[in-house]
Chains A and B, each alone.
Chain A
Amino acid sequence: MKIGVLVFPGSWSHDDFLWVFREVLRVAAEPVWHKETSVSGFDALVLPGGFAHGDYLRAGAIARFSPVMPAVRRFAEGGGPVLGSCNGFQILCEAGLLPGALLRNDSLQYRCQWVQLRVDNPDTPFTPGAGRGQVLAMPISHGEGRYFADPATLRRMNDRGQIVLRYCTPDGRLTNAANPNGSLGHIAGIVSEGGNVFGLMPHPERAGEPAVGGTDGLLLLRALAGGLAAPAR
């Protein structure tokens, strides 16, 4: 079992992902520079947060053309698990591996805070340890996280259970106050139709140890790690 963590110029969360995989979950993980053209040897891929290529033009717009991306696409189309967090989510949407797009927060402010997330579909490869309606706490840190998809796409996603996480209050209610960026449907995380590509704006890698304020991120990352790891305590 080995996890590849992609690194673009301007990525900033790759070291946190590598730390959690190696030091907390005790699985092998290696960085993958964006100029690589192969991802063979990896069992799962992570696109981390940051500001790949400066987020020039649009967040993720340039990164989706990085040399590694055709290999990522082949990996995803072959059913391999791919997780994109924050900027990684934006890149996956720009690349068309996930539906929709991420827009400037409705507050026009960069938001760096802990949020609560309701698990609306635990039946994905990434959420085997979660219960339906369970509320998870994780940090967000972004200026462009307002999820958008056209109404027909949103309906299809709802019908197919592609909406996995929604911003909520600590007791699981969907309110505007608990939605930090104005995302349609309070959407924080979605999976592809095939279920093997997962994008979320929150940072599970920053919720991996009690010392950083919480461990709910492990619930998602442990699944990626193949369930081989013992729970961190």
Chain B
Amino acid sequence: MVGSVFEARVYVTLKQGVLDPQGDTVRSALEALGFAGVGDVRIGKFMVLTLNGASRAEAEAQVHAMCRQLLANPVIEDYRFDLADAPASSPSPPPGEGTGEGVRPAPKMRAGGT
């Protein structure tokens, strides 16, 4: 049986209660620019990885394990992720389907470069 290729988008942020001086500094800068309605800014990490899995459930379990073991430090960080079919894996890709809680299907975009 041939597995599928998935694209996981992993978001890692500092837990509530952990001081985020970068976020505080950015919030101050936004205020200085006149964006008065900004309550809180948290800076985190965004990682995109492609992986093979026999099924979506297996791929999800793999990404959870990756996050717990390496991608996030549970002492200071929370993580969540979306899992979608990798763009190149099917000729007519289905619309991206977010599985992370409260996350809309992410638009196709590249990580990194501006």
Contacts and interface: CB of A to CB of B under 8 A. Distances in A.
B21 A106 contact: yes
Interface in A165-206: 182
B99 interface: no
B18 interface: yes
Nearest to B45: A57
Given A104-B21, A106-B19, A108-B22, A148 B73 contact: no
A101 B19 contact: no
Interface string B70-87: 110101100000000000
A107 to B, nearest CB: 8
B25 A108 contact: yes
A54 interface: no
B21 A101 contact: no
A68 B70 CA distance: 17
Given A103-B18, A108-B21, A149 B75 contact: yes
**For the side of the interface on B, what is the size category?**
10 to 19
A166 B13 CA distance: 28
A104 B70 CA distance: 18
B12 to A, nearest CB: 9
A2 interface: no
Nearest to B71: A57
Given A108-B21, A108-B25, A182-B21, A61 B73 contact: yes
A60 B55 CA distance: 32
A216 interface: no
Given A57-B70, A61-B70, A182-B19, A101 B75 contact: yes
A58 B21 contact: no
16 contacts: A58-B73, A65-B70, A99-B75, A101-B73, A103-B76, A104-B21, A105-B21, A106-B19, A108-B21, A108-B22, A108-B25, A146-B19, A148-B75, A148-B76, A150-B75, A182-B21
